[in-house]
């Protein structure tokens, strides 16, 4: 689904009166941390919109090759009942153009690891630029990352 299609859906009267939540991520190898984040995010509203990083954007952010392409990653997230709408984006789901287009009620950041302090600072910036958007956080501390899963798999020795 394209971001423009999502915007058209968001203006639909069936969704218009519901609280919309926007999250974003790469979701390269879906794991329990992703599921936990999406479930916690959905609790903030009625409709969960998930922005999946395009291959181009994800490679730039992750500094590594991806295991799954953007369509596979988006299809995987779409298969989860928690996600109401999924779109692929060439820029962060939290970027100004995306926020202007979708106008979510709530934006949720994962607060794992070292990103916590940066994201707390970003909260004020977003809420000043977009006063109608409330920024919330979903703790994913202790969750494994896709990169860690890749490292674990690389370390597995297979017997012949």
In tens, the pLDDT along 80-119 reads 999 999 999 988 888 898 898 888 999 999 876 556 666 7
| Mean pLDDT on 126-131 | 94
In tens, the pLDDT along 21-38 reads 999 999 988 888 899 999
Distance CA 54, CA 52 (A): 6
Calculate the CA dihedral of residues 136, 87, 100, 8 and round it to 10 degrees: -120
pTM value? 0.86
| DSSP label at residue 69 | -
- Counting residues of the chain whose pLDDT is more than 90, the rounded percentage is 43
Is residue 105 within 8 Å of 132, Cβ to Cβ? yes
* Closest alpha carbon to 33 in 152, 125, 138: 138
pLDDT of residue 117: 60
What domains are defined for the chain?
3-155 (3.40.50.620)
């Amino acid at each position: 689904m394209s971001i423009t299609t999502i915007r058209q859906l968001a203006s639909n009267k069936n969704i218009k009166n519901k609280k919309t939540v926007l999250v974003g991520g790469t979701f390269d190898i879906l794991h329990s941390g992703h599921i936990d984040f999406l479930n916690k995010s959905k609790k903030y509203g009625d409709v969960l919109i998930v922005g999946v990083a395009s291959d181009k954007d994800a490679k730039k952010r992750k500094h590594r090759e991806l295991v799954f392409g953007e369509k596979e990653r988006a299809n995987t997230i779409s298969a989860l009942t928690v996600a109401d709408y999924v779109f692929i984006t060439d820029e962060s789901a939290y970027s100004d153009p995306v926020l202007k287009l979708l106008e979510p009620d709530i934006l949720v950041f994962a607060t794992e690891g070292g990103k916590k302090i940066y994201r707390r600072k970003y909260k004020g910036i977003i809420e000043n630029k977009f006063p109608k958007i409330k920024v919330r956080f979903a703790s994913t501390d202790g969750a494994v990352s896709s990169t860690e899963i890749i490292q674990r798999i690389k370390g597995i020795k297979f017997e012949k």
